């Protein structure tokens, strides 16, 4: 379980880093991309929620 847990943490950190990079890039491009950013954040949190459920089982 520890090995799976560390893989999950690394996966989440990688997703968070990509999301932060995307947020910075989109903020440079202007406010018309706010909706896209919102959807990508929703997707990120949905993915991490799914992995939480998966590893609790």
For residue range 24-52, what is the model confidence (pLDDT) as tens digits?
Answer: 776 666 666 667 777 788 887 777 666 55
Give the Cα separation of 32 and 45 in Å (integer): 22
Condensed to tens digits (0 to 9), the pLDDT of residues 4-26 reads 668 888 888 888 888 777 777 76
Quote the pTM value.
0.35
Half-sphere exposure of 52 (CA within 13 A, CB side): 6
According to DSSP H, which parts of 1-57 are helical? 2-29, 34-56
- Measure CA of the first residue to CA of the last residue in the chain; give whole Å: 11
Q: Using CB atoms within 10 A of its CB, is residue 48 exposed (0-12), middle (13-18) or buried (19+)?
A: middle
Structure-block tokens of residue 11: 């996966």
């Amino acid at each position: 379980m520890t090995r799976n847990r560390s893989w999950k943490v690394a996966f989440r950190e990688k997703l968070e880093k990509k999301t932060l990079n995307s947020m910075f890039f989109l903020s440079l491009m202007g406010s018309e991309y706010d909706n896209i950013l919102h959807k990508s954040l929703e997707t990120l949190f949905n993915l991490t929620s799914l992995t939480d459920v998966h590893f609790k089982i």
